[in-house]
Amino acid sequence: VSAPATESRLFEGRCNESIVVRTSRARAFAALHRVEDWPARLPHVLAIDVLYDDGQYQEFLMDVRSDGGPIRVRSVRNCRLDTFQIEFFQPDPPAFLRHHAGGWQFYATGPDRCMIVAYHMWNLEPDVAAARFPPTDGRSTEQEVESLLRNHSLLALQSWQKILEEAA
Amino acid sequence: MVVTETIVISRDQPSVYAAFADIAGWTRILPDVQTVELLYWDGYNQEFRMTVERPGGPETIRGIRYCRPCSSLELFHPVPPPGVKRMAGQWTFKERAGLTTVVATRTFQLCDDELDGLGAEREAAFAEILRQALRTNLSRFKNALERHAEDHATSPALS
């Protein structure tokens, strides 16, 4: 399982993580689709301001807790219930990224089991990224950024596993 | 409501797709498009702001497109035209024997306050305007693409 091939070849960096959750695919998809509920469910999400939501396409502002204080991100999502996929991109990515996109995929692996895949794809803004994540012994700027986004994916997946299994 | 228009263009699929995908180039093909501002573009996800000349004055819309070379472009407007609650759609491209068929589809929903008891009539009227606009724009792309091909075919003889 990985990011869609057509899209991923446009990006120099990509990573994906997955987790199996004791819940149905429909419930998992619905939880990640209903973005307005996130502040009540995800401790790191402080606020959501939905700018547009027609059921499939969404645009929203999300205030997220971070080590350096709250940050606001704008996200545009294409939520495909027919294929159980959610794609997103950040039109105003953090300064160290030129482009940032990704998504969620949902696979039924049993009657009450769902594998959730989170993937990120990005292109660096090289100078800003090098200043923010200077290369260290044995780790390049690219590896530092990948590690950051991979950890974001893992934390999000573990949070959703806890939420969905507690609610079951 | 769904509106669909189709046109056949005598150019190869990559050329036709490229003309529709190059949103900044629309000002050269569609005379009513005044300006296009590309806000984000990573090769797949695209955000743009477009100002279009309308009878009531310039109208600015913001659009998001998902670009899948060379098969389709998917579109929605987080800021739709005035009076429209939802506007989304796609263009699909299919080549056969050197001819590329372009199918343009739009799904729309009018704002509730536009439907004061005359919903069906207003929807039908808007659908007709949209259908005409799609037809006109497809024809302009066809003309531009086929003229471009003719110019290139004749240029060696002129030089």
Per residue in B43-96, pLDDT tens? 999 999 999 998 889 999 999 999 999 999 999 999 888 889 999 999 999 999
**Closest of A73, A72, A75 to residue A33, by C-alpha:** A75
What is the average pLDDT across A115-142? 95
Model confidence at A143: pLDDT above 60: yes
Model confidence at B113: pLDDT above 70: no
Compare B95 and A1 and report the one with higher pLDDT: B95
Give how far Cα B40 sits from Cα of A21, A121, B70, B139, Å.
34, 15, 20, 28
pLDDT of residue B158: 46
- Mean pLDDT, chain A, rounded, equals 93
Locate the chain A residue with the closest alpha carbon to B66: A78
Does A59 touch chain B if contact means CB atoms closer than 8 Å?
A: yes
Q: Report yes or no: B104 and B89 within 8 Å, Cβ to Cβ.
A: yes
Model confidence at A131: pLDDT above 80: yes
Per cent of chain A over pLDDT 90 is 87
Chain B interface, best mutation among A49, A89, A121, by max B CB count within 10 A: A89
ipTM value: 0.90
The alpha carbon of residue B78 is apart from the nearest alpha carbon of chain A, in Å, by 6
The alpha carbon of residue B43 is apart from the nearest alpha carbon of chain A, in Å, by 6
Compare A10 and B15 and report the one with higher pLDDT: B15
In tens, the pLDDT along B21-31 reads 999 999 999 99
pLDDT of residue B114: 55
N-to-C CA span, chain A = 26
Q: B44 and A76 in contact by Cβ < 8 A? A: no
pLDDT of residue A67: 82
Three-class SS of residue A132? helix
- Indicate the pTM of the whole model: 0.91
**Closest of B80, B69, B61 to residue B19, by C-alpha:** B69
What is the average pLDDT across A2-8? 59
Task: With cut-offs at 50, 70 and 90, classify the pLDDT of residue B17.
Answer: very high
Query: Residues of B numbered 11-30 whose beta carbons fall under 8 angstroms of chain A's beta carbons: which are they?
Result: none
pLDDT of residue A7: 67
**What are the backbone dihedrals phi and psi of residue B95, each rounded to the nearest 5 degrees, phi first?**
-105, 140
Q: B42 and A101 in contact by Cβ < 8 A? A: yes
In tens, the pLDDT along A65-110 reads 988 899 999 999 999 999 999 999 999 999 999 999 999 999 999 9
